[in-house]
Amino acid sequence: MTKETAETIALRIKGEKFGNTVSEPLSELLKATITPQDRANIANKTGIGASTVRNLILRTTTITEENSRALYALLDKAIEKYNENIDNSGKAVQQLEALID
C-alpha cells in the first residue's frame, strides 16, 4: 500500500464512512471468509489491535482514520480468499466431471 491518507482509502470503500460501523453486507462477507488467523495476521501487519480488527468485522466498533488501514487489509484478504475459492471450485468441478461416464 502506498503512503495514502486514511481518508483517501476510506473513500475507495463505497458505502463506508468514518464514524459508522461497516455495513451489514460487508460484515457478512468478511465473517464468511476471514478466519481468526487472518485477523491476527492483519493486526500484526497493520499495527491495529486484533480485538479492533475483530470488532470491525462484527460491527461493534466504528471506522476511524486509524483502523481503516485494517479494514482495507481485510478487504484485500477477503478478495484474495474468494478468488482462491473460485479457483478451487473450478478444479473440483473438473474432477467431479471426470468421474462421470
**92 lies in which domain range?**
6-99
Distances (CA, A) of 25 to 14, 41, 59, 65, 93: 12, 23, 11, 21, 28
pLDDT at 62: 96
> Is residue 30 one of the residues assigned to a domain?
yes
Provide the sign of the torsion angle of the four alpha carbons 45, 71, 54, 35, taken in this order: negative
pLDDT digits (tens, 9 = 90+) for 36-72: 999 999 999 999 999 999 999 999 999 998 999 999 9
Domain count, the chain: 1
What is the band of 5 on the pLDDT scale with cuts at 50, 70, 90?
Answer: low
> Is residue 1 one of the residues assigned to a domain?
no
> Is residue 50 one of the residues assigned to a domain?
yes
pTM of the model: 0.80
pLDDT digits (tens, 9 = 90+) for 15-31: 888 899 999 999 999 99
pLDDT at 49: 97
Backbone angles phi, psi at 24, to 5 degrees: -60, -45
